[in-house]
Amino acid sequence: MSQSKYYAEFKYGTGADRHTYQIYKDKLTYGTAKAYATSLTGDQTKSYLVSPGSSAENDAVYNKTTEFITPGPDANYVWTGGDYDGANWKYYYNGSTIDDGGANYTNWNELAYDAWFLTQDAAQKYMAMGLQYDAVTGKEWYPKQDSSYHYVVETVNGYEKQYKDINTIGYGRSKDIISDYSTSAYKDGVRINASELTNFDHYTDWTFKAARNKKKLKKFAKRDLDFVYYQKKGDLYYNENGSSKGWGIGGAFARFDDEPRLTSDQLSVYAYLGEVV
């Protein structure tokens, strides 16, 4: 099954500077994370690895990242958009210099930066933000060799993907009624905000099936599936209890009035973490 990555999202800034930030729990090398960030818009100046330009933005990124990713021995860095070009540390999306002591905002870990500066280790040419754990200081930046870390993508206002967002607040008691969904209006499909779904933690391996009839719907309710769509009614279900009978603390959380055909390729699952002013 082809599916989108699972991520958390928040927004920061005002006006034209209001950007969207996506925090990913999977781990990628720097080059792969950079390429993925660019692929979201096709333009590395519009979607790129997060590149904080102020202490307030840096704090917002760190605070929201650690709200979604618990720092630990295997989760102590996230990639940012800084790299060393052989002469200067720069943000690749716009070429602005971020050397320690320069005019632009920086937040380097002094010990790590000084150690790099003494050796000029050519392998340590990528910048990562530390997540507070053991000897790693939270919020501060580190020169790192290429490795697999979590990553945060920043997207410029107006270049976000076109999803139909489904609200899960109140699921089990009420349904989000979707009356305006079409693949032409929302070319990137349907996006489920899973932050309110009880016991949902399938960050990269959620499962989905579409039921053609009521018999199939009942069958799928007993299988270890996360989401089931009953096209005849246009209802989208969350199956909280896996292969046990019924939906557990789940059930139908959205209804599509037009009863469109849905496939896993049209679905994305994420956690919305709100807006930071």
More confident residue, 101 or 122: 122
Copy the structure tokens of residue 155: 């997207």
User: Measured over all CA atoms, what is the biggest interatomic distance in the chain, rounded to whole angstroms?
Assistant: 69
For residues 91-112, give the mean pLDDT.
96
Mean per-residue pLDDT, 193-205: 82
At a CB cut-off of 8 Å and minimum separation 6, what does 181 contact? Answer: 164, 190, 256, 258, 260
pLDDT digits (tens, 9 = 90+) for 173-187: 789 999 999 989 998
**What are the structure tokens assigned to 218, written together?**
């009942």
CA 168 – CA 170 distance, rounded (Å): 6
Residue 167 pLDDT > 90: no
Mean pLDDT of the region 81-91: 97
Q: Whose CA is closest to 211, among 202, 220, 203? A: 220
Decide if 89 contacts 101 (C-beta within 8 A).
Answer: no
The confidence score (pLDDT) of residue 204 equals 67
- Mean pLDDT across the chain: 93
Domain spans, the chain: 7-155, 164-271
pTM above 0.85, yes or no: yes
Judged against a pLDDT cut of 60, whether residue 83 lies above it is answered with yes
pLDDT at 154: 98
What class has domain 7-155? alpha beta
pLDDT above 90 coverage of the chain, percent: 79
Of the chain, the percentage scoring pLDDT greater than 70 comes to 97
Q: Tens digits of per-residue pLDDT, 218-245?
A: 999 999 999 999 999 999 999 999 899 9
CA torsion through residues 45, 162, 264, 154, sign: positive
**Which pLDDT belongs to residue 196?**
86
Q: Quick one: pLDDT band at residue 2, thresholds 50, 70, 90?
A: very low
Q: Are 183 and 267 in contact (CB under 8 A)?
A: no
